[in-house]
């Protein structure tokens, strides 16, 4: 039976973009750009087109320059060949009536010399983030990166701008800046990994500076209503020493207040994956998304562990404007239709998350729904 009392399934006018619903496909790195040039492959176009009934698709994280590469077979958006590859993806999604943003990322110190032609990865400071990098030989421990010069920071910001320009040329409808733990931006935000003494380190305002310089560069290319950013303020597992610290809460208050004036499409917030008791951010545990709602005037996209029920609930309560779903979209290309018709969700096979070509990628069937 069709379920009509569902805020998730309501249309949404996002600036001049009409979204069919408020179910967003969150970025999912799937490792199917299996060529040395990291060009999107034909199966990627099919994969995204299969999921075009989402109100909005956020592409997998894509690299803004060669230095940003930190995971095998992940596509870039810094060469013309990559742009041509992405054109087939955006066309396939648009042909199915979908809307798709490109997620722009740089992994910074999370890279590995094996992915950097033997060179050290770069980071805000020479501090090993104590995480792991997915290299051609499997997962390897991260190393101590080389400190970026201020000039390198400025040229990296220009690379984000060029990538945003490329995303426009490739036919994307907007961009999302990838700033969740594990990536370069949170390495600047974290006290543990940013020891700089110039204008990009020290005070929380200085540590956050790179965010605004990246956004300022991107909105020279895109109207701000097509630009978004994804944060994971309380991510704890699998991210090495880039952890919430005693300045995380004032830092995010500062960032969100400053973002008020940007008129972004949305700020995308990843929720807590574990109990925050005893951590420096334990006061966020209760009513997590309300804290962000109360500190930011613009649109909020909520993420992590949502179901149809909890997604509808947070929208009804008003603590988010959209809900994004990551893993549920892997085995349920028709997630929206399943929500609509109360069809149980299929489980995804973790063994094919990052490898397997077509298998576990474009092979998940849609549910048989009779209208």
Q: Which residues bind ligand FMN (CB under 6 A)?
A: 26-29, 60-61, 103, 178, 180, 230, 270, 303-306, 325-328, 353
Closest CB 302 distance from ligand FMN, rounded Å:
10
Q: With H, G, I as helix, E, B as strand and everything else as coil, classify residue 336.
A: helix
Closest CB 101 distance from ligand FMN, rounded Å:
11
Which residue lies nearer to ligand FMN by CB, 28 or 281? 28
Which residue lies nearer to ligand FMN by CB, 250 or 305? 305
The pair of three-digit structure tokens given for residue 174, joined into one six-digit string: 């907007």
Q: With H, G, I as helix, E, B as strand and everything else as coil, classify residue 94.
A: helix
Closest CB 195 distance from ligand FMN, rounded Å:
26
Using CB atoms, what's the residue nearest to ligand FMN?
326
Closest CB 184 distance from ligand FMN, rounded Å:
13
Which residue lies nearer to ligand FMN by CB, 112 or 196? 112
Neighbouring residues of 260: CB distance < 8 A, sequence distance ≥ 6: 296, 297, 298
d(CA 234, CA 322): 20
Which residue lies nearer to ligand FMN by CB, 58 or 148? 58
* 331: DSSP letter: H
Closest CB 290 distance from ligand FMN, rounded Å:
19
Helices 248-259 and 288-295 cross at an angle (nearest 10°) of 50
Which residue lies nearer to ligand FMN by CB, 266 or 306? 306
Which residue lies nearer to ligand FMN by CB, 8 or 26? 26
Which residue lies nearer to ligand FMN by CB, 95 or 274? 274
Closest C-alpha to 193, from 131, 135, 149: 131
Which residue lies nearer to ligand FMN by CB, 74 or 196? 74
Calculate the CA 353 to chain-centre distance.
Answer: 16
Closest CB 186 distance from ligand FMN, rounded Å:
11
Closest CB 199 distance from ligand FMN, rounded Å:
27
The pair of three-digit structure tokens given for residue 196, joined into one six-digit string: 């700089």
Assess contact for 89 and 52: CB atoms under 8 A: no
Q: Is the dihedral of CA 72, 75, 77, 79 positive or negative?
A: positive
Assess contact for 215 and 225: CB atoms under 8 A: no
Alpha-helix residue ranges (DSSP H) falling in 112-203: 150-169, 184-189
d(CA 368, CA 323): 25
Closest C-alpha to 183, from 144, 253, 129: 129
Closest CB 60 distance from ligand FMN, rounded Å:
5
């Amino acid at each position: 039976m069709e379920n009509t009392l569902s805020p998730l399934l309501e249309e949404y006018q996002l600036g001049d973009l009409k979204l069919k619903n408020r179910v967003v496909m969150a970025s999912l790195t799937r490792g199917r750009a299996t060529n040395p040039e990291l060009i999107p492959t034909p199966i990627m176009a099919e994969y995204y087109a299969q999921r075009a009934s989402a109100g909005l698709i956020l592409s997998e994280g894509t690299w803004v320059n060669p230095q940003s590469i930190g995971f095998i077979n992940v596509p870039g958006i810094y060469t013309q060949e990559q742009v041509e590859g992405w054109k087939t993806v955006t066309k396939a999604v648009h042909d199915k009536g979908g809307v798709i943003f490109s997620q722009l990322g740089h992994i910074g110190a999370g890279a590995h010399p094996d992915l950097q032609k033997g060179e050290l990865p770069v980071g805000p400071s020479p501090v090993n983030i104590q995480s792991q990098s997915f290299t051609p030989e499997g997962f390897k421990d991260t190393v101590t990166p080389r400190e970026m010069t201020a000039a390198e920071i400025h040229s990296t910001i220009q690379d984000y701008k060029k990538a945003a320009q490329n995303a426009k040329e490739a036919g994307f409808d907007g961009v999302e800046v990838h700033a969740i733990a594990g990536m370069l931006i949170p390495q600047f935000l974290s006290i543990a990994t940013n020891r700089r003494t110039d204008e990009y380190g020290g005070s929380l305002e200085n540590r956050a500076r790179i965010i605004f310089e990246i956004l300022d560069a991107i909105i020279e290319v895109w109207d701000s209503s097509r630009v978004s950013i994804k944060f994971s303020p309380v991510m704890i597992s699998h991210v090495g020493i880039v952890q919430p610290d005693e300045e995380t809460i004032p830092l995010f208050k500062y960032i969100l207040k400053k973002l008020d004036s940007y008129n972004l499409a949305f700020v995308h917030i990843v929720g807590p994956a574990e109990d925050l008791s005893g951590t420096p951010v334990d006061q966020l545990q209760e009513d997590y998304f309300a804290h962000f709602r109360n500190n930011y005037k613009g649109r909020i996209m909520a993420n992590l562990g949502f179901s149809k029920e909890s997604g509808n609930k947070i929208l009804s309560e008003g603590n988010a404007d959209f809900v994004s779903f990551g893993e549920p979209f892997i085995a349920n290309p028709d997630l929206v239709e399943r929500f609509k018709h109360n069809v149980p969700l299929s489980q995804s096979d973790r063994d094919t998350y990052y490898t397997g070509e077509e298998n576990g990628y474009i092979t998940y069937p849609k549910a048989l729904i009779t209208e």
